[in-house]
């Protein structure tokens, strides 16, 4: 089959490929693509397609935000998304009771506010509905089921070559080529699987929080939740609400703050205080109020780090827990706190303080990591260690040769908005300077 003709035909009808951008630079690339698609040496590639606008990898809030900001400036883009929907983290990998922990004004994307009747902390369903409307409003139609497996800069062509596998068809690869590559694959792209002696042989259910929906199936069961970030803490509360017996592993220190203090959201209050005071002063205020409201958390096994919550977030990315009721259940003894795990044998878990308990199920609330080092051939913008930009926010959004990063800032959706606006502005400037817009 002539795959080039096939993709040409597709492009005629596909708004993504309408050449709003001047054709001048396309000629040699089109020839290159045609050659690749025909060449016997490249039979692995089913199709090879020139994308006139930027290629964005990931259709989460970050990918959508960049596509929208570009669209507003008259630039079409192509989003490659591995799953079959937008915001797959929110739609497929989060628990039922999830709501935003930060107030809505800190979570909206550029150019379109949340509907006025939305609550301060929109539910997951409301957040996803907003994202669906957002995509529709800006005419964003991602290419679903495209898992990007390799992206590299072609030094000869001065272009990005992005290879993706079609989901469920491992042997079928397509290649897209563009001047610009925007990485929007998120900080939560892959789950962190802890290495715990005996975990693989545990004689009970083991589930990561990305696959946990509700505590219904755990009623009456003894459940060990490993990890005390926001996910672990809220899953414990959900387990309580479903009459399970949750136990939580807190292997290190943790900052737990009430979600609201002094009649305001803790996050909003923090942002306001940061306008007037340096971060260590704001941290002291937050800790003082938290102590008044929660008491000494260390007495219940939740020792605080020596560095304050906001400073720690900005230094290490570790997010403070914004408490939505879990702490009261720890205080009442409904949730029991345990230190790190030494080993697991059968159904028995041995802890570092030598206590041992039997469990029916383990929920791994051990977090997520970026997958950028697995597919992006770049050593400059991103660190191999954690797959995040080497430069701290707000300086990690732009690399060399048309490479960009959005939403990998450890600043949540606020970071996404800042990156997205910058990227769109930068690409617009390049096109304007070339007289192509």
Q: Which of ligand 3IO, ligand FAD, ligand NDP, none has residue 359 at its interface (CB below 5 to 8 Å by kind)?
A: none
The single residue among 102, 174, 256, 363 that binds ligand 3IO, judged by CB under 6 A, is 102
Distance between CA 74 and CA 130 in Å, rounded? 23
For 73, 265, 307, 328, 349, the CA distances from 251, given in Å and listed in that order, are: 48, 28, 17, 20, 14
Q: Centre a 10 Å sphere on the Cβ of residue 317 and count the other Cβ atoms it contains.
A: 14
Output the CA torsion sign for 373, 378, 379, 380: negative
The single residue among 313, 318, 329, 421 that binds ligand 3IO, judged by CB under 6 A, is 313
The single residue among 126, 329, 411, 421 that binds ligand 3IO, judged by CB under 6 A, is 411
Distance between CA 185 and CA 416 in Å, rounded? 12
Kindly state whether residue 378 participates in binding ligand FAD, applying the rule CB under 6 A: no
For 60, 120, 196, 246, 345, the CA distances from 101, given in Å and listed in that order, are: 18, 9, 30, 22, 37
Question: 49 vs 266, which CB is nearer to ligand NDP?
Answer: 266
Q: Residues binding ligand FAD: what is the number (CB under 6 A)?
A: 35
The single residue among 89, 206, 207, 337 that binds ligand FAD, judged by CB under 6 A, is 89
Looking at 231-360, which runs of residues are DSSP E strands? Answer: 245-249, 256-258, 260-261, 264-265, 321-323, 336-338, 341-345, 348-351, 356-358
Kindly state whether residue 416 participates in binding ligand FAD, applying the rule CB under 6 A: yes
Kindly state whether residue 226 participates in binding ligand NDP, applying the rule CB under 6 A: yes
Kindly state whether residue 403 participates in binding ligand NDP, applying the rule CB under 6 A: no
Residue window 184-223: x/- pattern of binding to ligand NDP, with contact defined by CB under 6 A: ----------x-x------------x--------------
For the bound state, the minimum distance from the C-beta of residue 98 to ligand FAD, rounded and expressed in Å, comes to 6
Kindly state whether residue 407 participates in binding ligand FAD, applying the rule CB under 6 A: yes
The residue written with tokens 């400059």 in the block is 380
Contacts of 197 (CB under 8 A, 6+ apart): 342, 343, 344
For the bound state, the minimum distance from the C-beta of residue 330 to ligand FAD, rounded and expressed in Å, comes to 20
Kindly state whether residue 319 participates in binding ligand 3IO, applying the rule CB under 6 A: yes
- Classify the phi-psi angles of 31: left when phi > 0, otherwise alpha if psi is within -120 to 50, otherwise beta: alpha
Kindly state whether residue 389 participates in binding ligand FAD, applying the rule CB under 6 A: no
DSSP 243: T
The single residue among 60, 367, 389, 407 that binds ligand NDP, judged by CB under 6 A, is 367
The single residue among 249, 257, 361, 363 that binds ligand NDP, judged by CB under 6 A, is 249
Torsion of CA 168, 169, 175, 180, to 10 degrees: 10
The single residue among 187, 238, 378, 419 that binds ligand FAD, judged by CB under 6 A, is 187
Distance between CA 203 and CA 11 in Å, rounded? 53
For residue 373, is the peptide bond before it cis, meaning its omega torsion is within 30 degrees of 0?
no
Per CB under 6 A, contacts with ligand NDP among 87-106 are 98-101
Packed helices 412-433 and 61-72: angle between N→C axes, nearest 10 degrees: 30
Kindly state whether residue 179 participates in binding ligand NDP, applying the rule CB under 6 A: no
Question: 53 vs 320, which CB is nearer to ligand 3IO?
Answer: 320
The single residue among 16, 33, 66, 81 that binds ligand FAD, judged by CB under 6 A, is 81
Question: 122 vs 245, which CB is nearer to ligand FAD?
Answer: 122
Answer for the pair 394, 370: CB distance below 8 angstroms, yes or no.
no
The residue written with tokens 């979600």 in the block is 259
For the bound state, the minimum distance from the C-beta of residue 148 to ligand FAD, rounded and expressed in Å, comes to 4
For the bound state, the minimum distance from the C-beta of residue 385 to ligand NDP, rounded and expressed in Å, comes to 15
Distance between CA 263 and CA 218 in Å, rounded? 35
Kindly state whether residue 375 participates in binding ligand FAD, applying the rule CB under 6 A: yes
DSSP 26: G
Beta bridge partners of 363: 207, 225
The secondary structure of 195-236 as a DSSP string is --TTGGG-SSEEEEGGG---SGGGTT-EEEEE--SHHHHHHH
The single residue among 319, 347, 348, 383 that binds ligand NDP, judged by CB under 6 A, is 319
Interface contacts to ligand NDP, rule CB under 6 A: 98-101, 194, 196, 209, 226-232, 234, 249, 251-252, 318-319, 340, 365-368
Interface contacts to ligand FAD, rule CB under 6 A: 57-63, 80-83, 87-89, 94, 98, 100-102, 107, 147-148, 184-189, 231, 371, 375, 407, 412-413, 416
Interface contacts to ligand 3IO, rule CB under 6 A: 102, 267, 313, 319-320, 322, 411-412
């Amino acid at each position: 089959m002539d795959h080039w003709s096939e993709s040409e035909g597709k492009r005629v009808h596909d708004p993504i490929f309408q050449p709003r951008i001047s054709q001048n630079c396309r000629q040699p690339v089109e020839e290159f693509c045609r050659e690749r698609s025909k060449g016997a040496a490249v039979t692995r590639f089913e199709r090879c397609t020139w994308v006139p606008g930027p290629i964005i990898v990931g259709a989460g809030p970050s990918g959508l935000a960049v596509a929208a900001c570009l669209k507003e400036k008259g630039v079409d883009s192509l989003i490659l998304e591995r799953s079959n929907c937008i915001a797959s983290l929110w739609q497929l990998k989060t628990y039922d009771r999830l709501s935003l922990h930060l107030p809505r004004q800190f979570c909206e994307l550029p150019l379109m506010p949340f509907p006025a009747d939305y609550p301060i902390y929109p539910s997951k369903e409301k957040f996803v509905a907003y994202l669906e409307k957002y995509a529709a409003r800006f005419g964003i139609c991602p290419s679903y089921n495209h898992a990007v497996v390799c992206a590299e800069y072609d030094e000869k062509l001065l272009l990005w070559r992005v290879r993706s596998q079609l989901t469920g068809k491992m042997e079928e690869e397509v290649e897209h080529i563009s001047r610009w590559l925007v990485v929007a694959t998120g900080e939560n792209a892959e789950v962190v699987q802890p290495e715990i002696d005996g975990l693989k042989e545990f004689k009970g259910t083991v589930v990561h929080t990305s696959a946990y929906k509700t505590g219904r199936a755990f009623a009456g069961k003894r459940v060990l939740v490993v990890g005390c970030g926001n996910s672990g803490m809220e899953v414990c509360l959900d387990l309580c609400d479903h009459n399970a017996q949750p136990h939580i592993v807190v292997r290190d220190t943790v900052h737990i703050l009430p979600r609201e203090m002094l009649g305001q959201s803790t996050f909003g209050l923090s942002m306001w205080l940061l306008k007037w005071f340096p971060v260590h002063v704001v941290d002291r205020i937050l800790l003082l109020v938290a102590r008044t409201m929660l008491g000494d958390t260390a007495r219940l096994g939740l020792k605080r780090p020596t560095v304050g919550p906001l400073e720690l977030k900005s230094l290490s990315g570790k997010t403070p827990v914004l408490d939505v009721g879990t702490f009261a259940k720890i205080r009442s003894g409904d949730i029991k706190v345990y230190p790190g795990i030494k080993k697991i044998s059968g159904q028995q878990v041995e802890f570092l303080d030598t206590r041992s308990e039997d469990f029916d199920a383990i929920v791994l609330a051990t977090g997520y990591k970026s997958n950028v080092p697995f597919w992006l051939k770049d050593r400059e913008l991103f660190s191999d260690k954690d797959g995040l930009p080497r430069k701290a926010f707000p300086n990690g959004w732009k690399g060399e040769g048309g490479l960009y990063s959005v939403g990998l800032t450890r600043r949540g959706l606020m970071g996404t908005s800042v990156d997205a606006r910058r990227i769109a502005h930068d690409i617009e400037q390049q096109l304007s300077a070339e007289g192509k817009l």
